[in-house]
Chain A
Amino acid sequence: MTDSTHRPDHGSNEPQVRFENVQKTYDGEVLVVKDLNLAIEKGEFLTLLGPSGSGKTTTLMMLAGFESTTHGDIVLNGRSLRLVPPHKRDIGMVFQNYALFPHMTVYENLEFPLQCHKVEKSSREKKIADALAMVELTGFERRRPAQLSGGQQQRVALARALVFEPQIVLMDEPLGALDKKLREQMQIEMKHIHQNVGLTFVYVTHDQSEALTMSDRIAVFDDGVIQQLDAPEELYERPKNAFVAQFIGENNRLKGRITELTEGLCLVELPSGHTIRALPVNVTEVGQETTLSLRPEVVVVGATENDGCDDVFTAVVQEQIYMGDHTRVRMEVFGHDDFVVKVPRGAGLGGLEPGQEIGIGWRSGDCRALDAA
């Protein structure tokens, strides 16, 4: 299911990193990473996104050299990394817990990689100053990590991974320990830093909104397999399978069976007896089980036949949750009572009452027929 045809074309050159049929097992019984093929382009911001335990960290650790590959090879700039120890890979890394050295000041933490890379003493100071300026921590040189807030420590860790100008910077859930507000702020900053330094960033997260915010491309992991590798818009708007659709963004799932299948359109019969028009994505034959995926925001509430919707059904309002900029409405339709729609503020639908019947509709292209899983 790995897809390497969709990667953006950065020229005909060899990608910076190539995972070739990589497999990994820790215990000799379970494959944690299954036949991974992945090309990372120079200068891109690639995110590995997936639920906990899906093998993201393992993949990153194999690239950094802290875990061996059980099978297959990783190639950096056309050169196999098999026999290259971690400290010679020229890959910077930001760890989830930052791993700042507590006995060193911020300055010493940043000087450490420069020392290791034999950077002239004379040019160290400027590099460190530049790196600290980039993460907006100028003036914190003499502090020790314990004297910094979580967000500041995170920035130091980032500066330390960047200061020696590695080819690639790996980040394993670097924002996981920060509160929401700071996390969102850091996401934007990190994206700006990426644009400024032009290095390849490989970023691991289980937070889909974080992945959507920052990445050039996202590789969605599940169970040791890349389910889809695409740009954020593509991933959100055109998920290729039920897992991706459900993992990224909110999603109403309707199980059904294909009754008719043509190019670009299929008819799906639900257990409730309704028939829905949908876009066939990974269904191949009539009679097949399928999962329909409908994003809450594509559903038009109060729709009538002539609203440009291809399908219109009647739903019963169950509950409203006020979210500020929009209202989530839970409805009962097709025998499910967990059908969720989002009504933007100002849509003129203020007074929905529980028990009220209302029309819902959508364009058939927004309703995607995916695998049954």
Chain B
Amino acid sequence: MVATTGSHDVMRTADGVPLRIKLRRAERMRKVWAIALVAPLFVFLVVGFILPIISLLSLSVEDPDLTSGFPRTAELFQEWDGEGFPPPEAMTTFAEELSIADRGQFGRAAKRLNYDISGFKSMVKKTARKSEELALLPPDQIHDGFIKIDKDWSDPAYWYAIKNASDYYTDYYLLWSLDLQRDKEREIVSVSPDRAIYVDVLLRTIEISFAVTLLCFLLGLPIAYLLATLPTRISNLLLILVLLPFWTSLLVRTTSWLVLLQNEGLINDMALWMGLWNEPQELIRNRFGVYVAMVHILLPFMVLPMYSVMKTINPWHMRAAASLGAPGWKAFLKVYFPQCMPGVAAGTLLVFILSLGYYITPALVGGPGDQMTSYWIVQNMGRTANWGLGAALSVVLLLLTIVMFFIYNRFVGVDRLKVN
């Protein structure tokens, strides 16, 4: 080191501020700027994405209908071991809270109890009308009082259903969304076959997504290849055709398929006229219609990533392969296609995940047997207002998506999605 006088021990800028401090100040300014720039997006993500997911997750494990409207009843039923009948004071409390519950509280609780045993709702209603007198009965007569109103109260299953709804935190809805329930011993068992629909729906969702992805891939590959290899003038035109669907609303595109594919639609009319078939074919409200419409709508999501990757592939590679003795198919399989993998991976992942959550298209062009999980989410969240089940189905769908993503990552590698 060159000897320096004291004042030069610290490197300073021309205005005498130590270099280190100056640097830190400059960096701090940069950081503040960077944070300011990402802050809006961050807030948006939190409000629009993370908070809804958290609330969804919590909705799926909450069972508030009885616990908030009938808090003391819920508490007492929770303490009951579930054997035989609940203690008389639990019944009395139930009768008391029935008599003071407002319409909303009562309605929600009755609906919740009806999930377990259908017909329970009207039974609770009937009981509520006489609940004031019921609450005044001495403990040794209270059960008989209930039975007098409705003889089903002598069935322990009804009392157990109340207990079942008395935990604020529950796996009831999550189990339900997988066609499972807990029996009296708290063991997880399948629900009765006539109630089991959601596993089928889930498998169907996977099946449809898989088929749509495969179809999109098979149709998209040649399109992307053409786009990437044709002269720019023609490929730009083609690209516009591929992008055109993006500029049209999803609903319009789906309904136009409805118009095209219906019995009196264009396709059937044409086919009849050309003599392809003799009577109108069912092209809609079945799986065929779902595949046609979904593939049409999702195809750009497959084509664009593949195209963007293919465009970066050196077109001389195919010639190089030929000069090295490879016939066209071999050059394509061994040289071209492996280089497309990042695009194929991105495209298939995108289409698959979008398919998993598809709602409006299957709802419009599919039959009852073609509805996917999101249809049932909408059903439960909207029409029947079963928020817990709707949320639980959403959670299952979300988990399925995440699982698919990881399986995919395992086999294809998400780091290969990078387009360089």
Interface residues of A (CB under 8 A from B): 64-66, 85-93, 95, 97, 99, 101-103, 112-113, 116-117, 160-161, 164, 170
B324 within 8 A of A: yes
Say whether B319 contacts A87, CB under 8 Å.
no
| CB 8 Å contact bits of B317-332 with A (1 = contact, 0 = none) | 1011111111110110
| Chain B residue with Cβ nearest A118 | B325
Interchain CB contact under 8 A, A93 and B323: yes
Q: Which of B377-419 contact A (CB under 8 A)?
A: none
A97 CB contacts on chain B under 8 angstroms: 314, 316
Identity of the chain A residue whose Cβ is nearest the Cβ of B335 in the assembled complex: A101
Contact of A113 among B316, B324, B339, B341 (CB under 8 A): B324
Contact between A112 and B319, CB atoms less than 8 A apart: no
Are B322 and A66 closer than 8 Å at their CB atoms? yes
- Category for how many chain B residues contact A: 20 to 34
Chain B residues whose C-beta falls within 8 Å of the C-beta of A93 in the assembled complex? 319-320, 323
18 intermolecular pairs with C-beta atoms under 8 Å apart: A65-B322, A66-B319, A85-B322, A85-B327, A86-B323, A87-B321, A87-B322, A87-B326, A87-B331, A89-B323, A92-B324, A95-B320, A101-B321, A101-B335, A103-B338, A117-B325, A164-B325, A170-B323
Whether B324 and A103, one on each chain, are in contact in the complex, defined by CB atoms closer than 8 angstroms, is no
B339 touching A86, Cβ below 8 Å: no
Distance A91 CA – B325 CA, assembled complex (angstroms): 9
Complex Cα gap A97–B315 (Å): 11
- Confirm or deny: B22 has a beta carbon within 8 angstroms of a beta carbon on chain A: no
Are B325 and A101 interface neighbours, CB within 8 A? Answer: no
In the bound complex, residues from chain A placing their C-beta under 8 Å from that of B319 are 64, 66, 86, 93, 95, 99
Closest 8 CB pairs of A and B: A116-B325, A113-B324, A99-B320, A93-B323, A86-B322, A99-B316, A87-B322, A103-B338
- Asked whether, in the complex, the Cβ of B323 is within 8 Å of the Cβ of A161, the reply is yes
| Given contacts A102-B339, A103-B339, A112 and B316 within 8 Å (CB-CB) | no
The CA of A90 and the CA of B330, in the complex, are separated in Å by 16
Q: Which residue of B lies closest to A99 (CB)?
A: B320
Partner of B324, one of A65, A85, A112, A170: A112
Task: Say if the beta carbon of B334 comes within 8 Å of chain A.
Answer: yes
Contact A116 B330 (CB under 8 A): yes
Supposing A112-B334, A116-B330 touch, asked if A101 and B317 sit within 8 A by C-beta, the answer is yes
| Residues on the A chain within 8 Å of B339, using CB | 101-103
Bound state CA distance, A97 and B320, in angstroms? 11
A32 to chain B, nearest CB (A): 17
Given contacts A88-B325, A101-B317, 9 further A-B contacts (CB under 8 A): A87-B323, A95-B316, A99-B314, A99-B319, A101-B335, A103-B339, A112-B334, A117-B325, A164-B324
A227 CB to nearest B CB, Å: 28
Q: Which of B321, B324, B328 has the most CB of A within 10 A?
A: B324
A113/B314 in contact, CB under 8 A: no
Q: Which residues of A contact B335 (CB under 8 A)?
A: 101, 112
**Min CB distance, A331 to chain B, in Å?**
47
In the assembled complex, the CB of A128 is this many whole angstroms from the nearest CB of chain B, namely 13
Cβ-defined partner of B325 (8 Å) among A99, A102, A113? A113
| Residues of B252-283 whose CB lies within 8 A of A | none
Closest chain A residue to B337, Cβ basis:
A103
Give the distance to chain A from B314, nearest Cβ to Cβ, in Å: 6
Measured in the bound complex, the distance between the Cα atoms of B326 and A89 in whole Å is: 11
Inside 8 A of B334's CB, which chain A residues have their CB?
112
B331 to A: closest C-beta gap in Å: 8
Question: Nearest residue in B to A87 (C-beta to C-beta)?
Answer: B322
Contact with A along B293-325 (1 / 0, CB 8 A): 000000000000000000000101101111111
Beta-carbon nearest neighbor of A64 in chain B? B323
Residues of chain A with a CB closer than 8 A to B316's CB: 95, 97, 99
Docked pose: A99 CA to B323 CA in angstroms: 11
Contact residues in B for A101 (Cβ distance below 8 Å) = 317, 320-321, 335, 339
- Complex contact B338–A116 (CB within 8 A): no
Q: Which residues of the other chain, B, contact A91 by a CB distance below 8 angstroms?
A: 323
Shortest Cβ gap from A125 to chain B (Å): 18
Residues of A contacting B325 in the complex (Cβ-Cβ under 8 angstroms): 87-88, 90, 113, 116-117, 164
Shortest Cβ gap from B107 to chain A (Å): 63
Q: Please, how many angstroms separate the alpha-carbon atoms of A117 and B323 in the complex?
A: 11
Q: In the complex, which residues of chain A have a beta carbon less than 8 angstroms from the beta carbon of B324? A: 87, 92, 112-113, 116, 160-161, 164
- How far does the Cβ of A309 sit from chain B's closest Cβ, in whole Å? 53
Q: Which residue among A66, A90, A99, A161 has the maximum number of chain B CB atoms within 10 Å of its CB?
A: A99
A65 — which chain B residues lie within 8 A by C-beta?
Answer: 322
- CB of A67 to closest CB in B, whole Å: 10
How close is B153's CB to chain A, nearest CB, in angstroms? 72
Residues of B within 8 A of A86 (CB): 319, 322-323
B320 A87 Cβ-Cβ under 8 A? no
